[in-house]
A and B are shown apart, each in its own frame.
Chain A
Amino acid sequence: MSPAIGGTLNRVDGRFKVRGESRYSAEVPVTNLAHAVIVNAKIASGRITAIDTSEAERAEGVLAVLTHLNLGRVATVPRLLPSLAGLAAPGQTFFPMQDDLVHYGGQPVAVVVADTIERADHAGTLIRIEYETTPATTLLDQARDRAYVPERIFGGLLPGHSSRGDVAKALAEAEVCVDATYRFAPNHHNPIEPSASTAVWEDVDRLTVYDSTQGPNAVQFTLAELLGRPPISIRVVSHAVGGSFGSKAMVWHHPALAALAARHVGRPVRLVLSREQMFTSCGHREEQEQQITLGARADGRITALRHHKLSLTSPFDDWAEPSLQSPSVAYTSPHYEGVYHLVRGNTITPTFTRAPGEATGMFALECAMDELAERIGIDPLELRLRNYSATDPESGKPWSSSGLTECYQRAAELFGWRDRDPRPRSRRDGQWLIGSGMASALYPVTQPVNPQRSRARLYNDGTAVIEAGVSEFGTGVFTAMTQVAADGLGIPVERVRFVGGSSDLPNVTAAVGSAGTSAVGSAVHLAATQLRDELIRRAVADDHSPLRDADPANVEVHDGKMVLRDRPDVGETYADLMHRTFVPDVEVLGTWNPPPQDVGYGVHTFGAQLAEVAVDADLGVVRVRRMVGVFAPGRVLNRKTAHSQLMGGMLWGLGQALLEATRMDPRLGRWANASLGDYLVPVNADAPDVVVDTIEVHDEVVNPLGMKGVGEIGVVGAAAAIANAVYHATGRRQYELPITLEKLL
């Protein structure tokens, strides 16, 4: 029996997905269901002076109209803490409809409940709201002079300012300097499934919420605090989730509003966000600007890196996606300064979005590196090699594992980088200017703070159920967990069923920060191997077992059969042992205690991104022809799903580079393109030839199986490789994303 880990097991939920049998949170069958629709503020700043709901209340099918006047107060608004922490995780420290103030466009101001969603939606348009409008800030350019440096950002987890050495002196003494400022349009997640919550009060004290989330437990804990109820009264179920990209990483207002509405009308209530509401209800990647100043010696060795970021946050929270962290450790740079500058604006608190921070921060650094390579006159890849750091430049500690130089080498081979003529505009194919570019990819290995748990139960027919409260939002985690459990128990994947998606199951953290599979996988691995060990322990202690008195360390399991390692003909199956001893099942709880925050190593995932683009010489159209991404994500559990995820990440990088932008109309304080027709994401026709490969690096520091995560590293660096390729093709540097054709006309 070959190991399941590292194989290409098809998705265990694939059959249900393609047959339309998976139950998403807006599809769970519930009797006596009512439908809620949120009504959003159409102004960005001000106060509700009058609200007339009488016509809406009279409309056909309407059960209730809730506003700040009758919703009631929430018990507590928990503090903002990334859901990786495993605690309550509200997307912002603000809950709407508690008073008459409007802080941002799209803020919920009313909830209509009716017997159908169409009637609820229509009644929402019949509510008459009068506002007193006050001036709003919705663009960085409106308030640069009000920027401040926060003490901490990102839910308090990261400092607003950090430095090592003397960056000013090092820059003054540098032989070569590159100084560039990069601007980033806001981005939205746009998963295919809009967020939805179905709230069912089973009785006055027991609430079940079917919710589309990356973390059922995070929803449970957040609802407990908001509703002022103990966690035992709240069950959160997430059977299937249609993508997230960070939009469902934190807990936004809709599950609580659905629960409150359900309590108000005394019926189960379903609340589905519209596509347009997905642009104002779940955060986004904030509008931002980053200035990079690189100082180097004439041979390209970096001596100093100064990285400043200016971005827009909400009135409530000091949020910035952590753009400075990965760039600060990407290369040797003895002198460093990183500073976040924030501007408060009239927006929902921004949130995690597809490689949050790394996607923008590494774009800025890697474009500046391309300029530095050109200034010094060396190959961009050679510049990276000269600045490769074998230790974490921040702490001086060795990497737990790296593989970066191998990634460069493999990517260069796969791409044919060696033949590259470095001169801009040196290649042409008819009307098309051809260019190639590269970038490094870094993503931190984030660890959950709290213990991760999984339960494994073996039945006496040799089949096993493995449980953990993780949700499946398209990453393939249920499939990978099936493989981990099968190998841990020594049984084929066909005899394993993984069950997840409920807060009633053993607690794991929300699957965020590319850490979901490694967090739950570590717990599943421990549960499965401990269960195996328990069965072996019973066998060697059983007088009737062929393994009686054997050394447990000398017993291994193949295809459900426990055998002596040196005499594989001696042994018995799990089923034989359990039948003989009248045991229906054996169950253990596996608990993985994550390593402390300081493990004595630098922990990052590394990769290399190469891209070839064609730019229409006259029309400015950019088409990506080839992408090569090679990553070193530690242990790969499933090559098929891992490669798919890495490829998906690279295509999102293409979107970030060329297409994605949410456009704010500052006069209205609202997004002007809040639809999938107007917010462009890549389509199949945009997808080039994409080559994904992995370098397997062994890592004993991060977790028992050595997994470092494939969720987001594919995004990181892809946009920079494309922008650098656009420069190589055209001779025109790009300092603003997305690179739309008018910038190249």
Chain B
Amino acid sequence: MRPVSYSRVADVGTAIGTVSADPESAFLAGGTTQVDLMRIYVEQPHRLVDISDLPLNQVEELPGGGLRLGGLARMSDVAQEPAVVRRYPMVAEALLLGASPQLRNMATVAGNLMQRVRCSYFRDVAAGCNKRTPGTGCSALDGVNRGHAVLGTSDCCIATHPSDVAVALVALDAVVQTEGPAGRRSIPIDDFFLLPGQTPEQEHPLTHGELVTGIDLPPLPVAATSRYVKIRDRESYEFALASVAVAMSVAGGRIAEIRLALGGVATKPWRARAAERVLDGAPATIEAFTRAAEAELAPAVPHGMNAFKIELARRTMVRALEEMAQREGTA
């Protein structure tokens, strides 16, 4: 690890002031990804500003019926929060299906959104990687890329966004609250995650020193009938090969409301808008689910080892929708 200085701050203003004054500094919260990346020289800040003491770890009711997840709320705490479990079950499920209990006890929800990709070439400083070192090429394009993305890729980067909970948050149109040197901002979550394009090093619109203070879940009755389905090689402590966050209501055999997002297959938490368009008002049948999944995956691009993900994602979507419809049908 490169030598680094460390300080611990107690208020948001000092945190933002300290980091924004030093371009080689970084916030430190749970540290579950960041410290790993520092140990392997992928991230090399000179200064760490520990924000664990900031009063941002609560889950609060918002006026109007939504919920605010404090940026520093721990994954394990949010997953057990009764309001989350009851009103946004797919958020709780996505949290519990992510990482391991030890990591969830440390990691924060803001940190979860900010986590870096798991691409092994990104983590190998001796390999070319446009995201880590712009202009050095993407080693994953023709490399060991079984876990890589098939949606939202570019010829510069095909790394999969690793978060589970972000998939649920994208389906819900959550809003990311930030505070920085230029004041406070509200960023719709779909705009918070950027496609790699020709600039894969830019993963989000935050400026240096801007802090994610909270994540707002909008009031959404349909979110109470939602779930998160995750497919992976082993039963726990592994990233998704394909995952689906779905919230759906069915009335008279037809889909009244649908929110759908994909994980494990895209360079950002992937809102499945094409599928939603097919499903909106459609009969809740396997045929419709299959058409929707195919519409969403039509632009998918395979890269060698990950070609199976297109079919896996299609089937996982159909599975998740089918199970949701069955549950809705019997409710």
Contact = CB atoms under 8 A, between A and B. Distances in A.
Nearest to A431: B319
- Consensus secondary structure, chain B interface: loop
A683 B260 CA distance: 30
A667 B142 contact: yes
Nearest to A124: B41
A98 interface: no
B127 interface: yes
Given A621-B231, A673-B144, A683-B236, A122 B308 contact: no
A741 interface: yes
A579 B264 CA distance: 74
Interface in A244-293: 276
B144 A665 contact: yes
A682 B234 contact: yes
Contacts of B237: 683, 685
Nearest to A654: B234
Contacts of A60: 3
Contacts of B236: 683-686
Contacts of A682: 234
Contacts of A42: 126
A741 B120 contact: no
A672 B318 CA distance: 32
Interface stretch (B66-74, B79-87, B166-174, B309-317): B309-317
A663 interface: yes
Contacts of B233: 658-659, 680, 740-741
A742 B231 CA distance: 12
Nearest to B4: A118
Contact of B312 (A276, A665, A745): A745
Contacts of A431: 319
A699 interface: no
A675 B123 CA distance: 10
Interface residues of A, number: 37
Interface in B112-128: 118, 120-121, 123-124, 126-127
B2 interface: yes
Interface string B134-166: 000001001110100000000000000000000
Nearest to A41: B126
A619 interface: yes
B93 to A, nearest CB: 15
B238 A118 contact: no
Contacts of B40: 276
Nearest to A743: B308
A683 B123 CA distance: 24
Interface string A645-668: 000000000000011000111011
Contacts of A276: 40
Contact of B234 (A618, A680, A742, A745): A680
Contact of B235 (A665, A678, A686): A686
B236 to A, nearest CB: 4
21 contacts: A121-B1, A122-B1, A618-B318, A619-B312, A619-B315, A658-B233, A658-B234, A659-B233, A659-B234, A663-B144, A663-B146, A665-B143, A667-B142, A672-B120, A672-B144, A673-B144, A685-B234, A685-B236, A742-B308, A742-B312, A745-B312
Interface of B: 1-3, 40-41, 118, 120-121, 123-124, 126-127, 139, 142-144, 146, 231, 233-238, 241, 308, 311-312, 315-316, 318-319
Which are the 5 A-B pairs with shortest beta-carbon distances? A742-B308, A685-B235, A672-B144, A685-B236, A42-B126
Given A623-B235, A668-B124, 12 more contacts: A122-B3, A619-B231, A619-B312, A668-B127, A672-B143, A675-B123, A678-B118, A685-B234, A685-B236, A685-B237, A741-B241, A745-B315
